[in-house]
Amino acid sequence: MGNRIIVTGASGLVGTNLCKRLLDEGHEVYGFARTDRNQISGVKYFVFDLLDKNKTYSYIQGIQPEYIYHCAAQPAEARGQSAPIDMVERNINIMLHVLVPAINIK
């Protein structure tokens, strides 16, 4: 078996294609997504919001991945037009919620 890998944004265009590629290469793939759309057979999905720091930390610590591909982001068209600072802050918080537990993997 390959590596344990988490892909955030696993239901998006980039994340979905990355999950397919990683599965084809024989890896154990865990997908973090806000929605249950575009799910691929063989990926173990966790559907939640990465802004939930406690869930993000708990899931990453439980999986103990060798790699994390961080493809999740709030797209600019969703909020960026009306509240660009809010959009940037949310994306920074999402990144930190993934980075901090990744650093602490034993």
pLDDT in tens, the chain (106 residues): 799 999 999 999 999 999 999 999 999 999 999 999 989 999 999 999 999 999 999 999 999 999 999 999 877 665 556 777 888 898 999 999 999 999 988 7
Instruction: Name the nearest CA neighbour of 5 among 34, 36, 42, 39.
Output: 42
State how far the alpha carbon of 52 is from the alpha carbons of 3, 34, 46, 49, 55, in Å: 26, 11, 12, 6, 6
Across-strand partners of 28? 4
pLDDT, residue 32, reads 98
Tell me the pTM.
Answer: 0.90
pLDDT at site 77: 66
